[in-house]
Structure 1
Amino acid sequence: MGRGGPREIVQLTGDRDAISSVTFLADGKTLASGGGGMVWLWDVSYLVKPLSFLCAQVGRSFTQEEWERYVPEGPAYRKIC
């Protein structure tokens, strides 16, 4: 899809054949998926403030080149740490 359309933001691992429903919990930081008598909870809290998460993971601001590689359709480059 083109810019502005739906795009995958994260790929979760699990038994995809068994998942029949997905929902966010009220906290907005937990994704629940279920099916086949099982429920999986996924911590997606890093999606609430993705730039803060990136800064914490890298321990520094991205370079311009890194930003263009990892955040191509996001906001314009800026130091985040």
Structure 2
Amino acid sequence: METKQLNDFINSVMRSDEFQKLQQEVANHMIDKMNTFPFESDDDVRLVSARLRDAFYLGVNYESTRGMMALIGKNKRKVV
């Protein structure tokens, strides 16, 4: 498949209202929760923010990898 076709698909997903809404909801949820915690320093805020962001990213990465593997298996069955 051509790179342009793949990039167009990726961009269409990333620019979709649903995708952007999910990103905003996650960011808002983290910030809302952090607003209620009595941090003692800016470093504490940075640490918690980074850990939450990384944990979310790793969770999304895990779930998307599971989905990707299912798609790869599905496509292999079509080719065979």
TM range (shorter): under 0.3
Larger radius of gyration: 2
**Richer in helix (by share):** 2
TM-score (norm 1): 0.25
**Richer in strand (by share):** 1
